[in-house]
């Protein structure tokens, strides 16, 4: 039985391999991955924004190799230096006063939802539990997180959903203001919607949400699972807007390829959850925290994030120069970029893969680019060249 048949026989089928293929990836280095036939691919999926420093970055490999030989895991009943060291670094470079560690973005958002409910009840009464999120958002696959995700396609089949969520129009402040009532405890949005099609928030929208939360004593919570950790050209996407959230969530890029999630909170929100309120067995694992510390050190090197911003501008400019009738719009911030087309985006992704370029299609018509932050202009030029050929083919 070949690998694909074995996968089908033994793994629950929850993923559409995109594009449809028999691609098996065996190894990676830098911005490239190789399949089982030793064919090389330029990776502009990046593990869906996870491999921010590319594959097997030396600093991450060194730290993980050292830590895994010292202590692979310890319970959160005990203190762990790698966990404390990472927490110190995150707090030092963000608006948070304290952090909570878990294993994924969905878990981080679950923690944020619980925190917001407890905060609301403590501040304004037992009925205060509703959270407003944005249409076309994405916050994870757990039951509360898919309810927060205001996309019906993720809800189908899992009803009844968790009560207590209302949905506003992204970048429409009036829509959010109209939903605030005596039961509202928080607003949760992505500064850049990822799965929803790569839509950056407007500055007036986020500033307006901050004011709205201040006036109504609500928590403002930012989901930076996909757009955080340098992806936009700043360590946190909220830095582009001059708006500080009360709570933010991270995952994906933070671990450099290893699973980690994080909730950051400031002020009274940081002291809302108490012992017994929430926990995570693997949260703050020493190996993963070591990897995340190595990632953070690289991201904070002088000039690194400025270079990401410059490359993002270069990439979007190159995409806008493409000579294709099917292009609708180029959107993005830093190196989270969406190219909306008229046509079959999945077919474009498949054509690119055949030519050695891995990209991602969301919503059938938006090509999403999440390359490693270590790419060079020559990699962008190559990707755009392959993309031009693929788009030309679907126009014929």
Torsion of CA 142, 143, 144, 150, to 10 degrees: 90
Q: What is the largest CA-CA distance in the chain?
A: 63
Q: State the pLDDT at residue 242.
A: 96
Closest listed residue to residue 196, CA positions, set 362, 85, 393: 362
What are φ and ψ of residue 214, in 5° steps? Answer: -65, -40
The position carrying tokens 């999630």 is 261
How confident is the chain (396 residues) per 10-residue block, as mean pLDDT?
82 74 88 95 97 97 98 96 98 98 98 98 95 97 97 95 97 98 98 97 98 98 98 98 98 97 98 96 98 98 98 98 94 98 94 96 95 98 97 87
| Best CA proximity match to 293, nearest among 29, 73, 84 | 84
- For residue 16, what pLDDT is reported? 75
Q: Domains (ranges, CATH) in the chain?
A: 3-56+302-395 (3.90.1150.10), 71-299 (3.40.640.10)
Report the predicted TM-score, pTM, of the whole model to 2 decimal places: 0.96
Distance (Å, rounded) from C-alpha 368 to C-alpha 316?
A: 12
- Dihedral of CA atoms 289, 292, 294, 295 in degrees, nearest 10, equals 180
pLDDT given at position 14: 86
């Amino acid at each position: 039985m070949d690998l694909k048949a074995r996968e089908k026989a033994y793994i629950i089928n929850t993923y559409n391999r995109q594009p449809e293929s028999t691609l098996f990836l065996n190894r990676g280095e830098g911005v490239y991955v190789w399949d089982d036939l030793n064919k090389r691919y330029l990776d502009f999926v990046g593990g869906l924004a996870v491999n921010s420093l590319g594959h097997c970055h030396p600093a991450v490999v060194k730290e993980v190799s050292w830590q895994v030989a010292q202590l692979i895991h310890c319970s959160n009943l005990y203190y762990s230096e790698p966990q404390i060291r990472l927490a110190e670094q995150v707090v030092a470079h963000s608006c948070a006063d304290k952090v909570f560690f878990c294993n994924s973005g969905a878990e981080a958002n679950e923690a944020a939802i619980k925190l917001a409910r407890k905060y609301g009840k403590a501040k304004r009464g037992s009925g205060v539990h509703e959270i407003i999120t944005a249409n076309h958002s994405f916050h994870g696959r757990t039951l509360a997180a898919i309810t927060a995700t205001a996309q019906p396609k993720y809800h189908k089949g899992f009803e009844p959903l968790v009560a207590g969520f209302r949905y506003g129009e992204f970048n429409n402040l009036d829509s959010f203001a109209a939903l605030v009532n005596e039961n509202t405890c928080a607003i949760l949005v992505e500064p850049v919607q990822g799965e929803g099609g790569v839509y950056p928030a407007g500055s007036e929208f986020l500033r307006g949400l901050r004011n709205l939360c201040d006036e109504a004593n609500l928590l403002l919570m930012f989901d930076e699972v996909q757009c955080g950790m340098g992806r936009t050209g700043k360590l946190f996407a909220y830095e582009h807007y001059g708006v500080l959230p009360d709570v933010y969530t991270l995952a994906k890029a933070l671990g450099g390829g290893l699973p980690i999630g994080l909730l950051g909170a400031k002020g009274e929100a940081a002291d809302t959850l108490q012992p017994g309120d929430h926990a995570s067995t693997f949260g703050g694992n020493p190996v993963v925290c070591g990897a995340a510390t190595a990632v953070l050190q690289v991201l904070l090197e002088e000039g690194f994030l400025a270079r990401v911003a410059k490359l993002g501008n270069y990439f979007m400019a190159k995409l806008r120069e493409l000579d294709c009738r099917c292009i609708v719009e180029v959107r993005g911030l830093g190196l989270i970029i969406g190219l909306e087309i008229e046509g079959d985006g999945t077919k474009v992704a498949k054509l690119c893969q055949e030519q050695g370029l891995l990209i991602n299609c969301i919503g059938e018509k938006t090509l999403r680019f999440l390359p490693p932050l270590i790419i060079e202009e020559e990699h962008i030029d190559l990707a755009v060249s392959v993309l031009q050929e693929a788009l030309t083919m679907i126009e014929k």
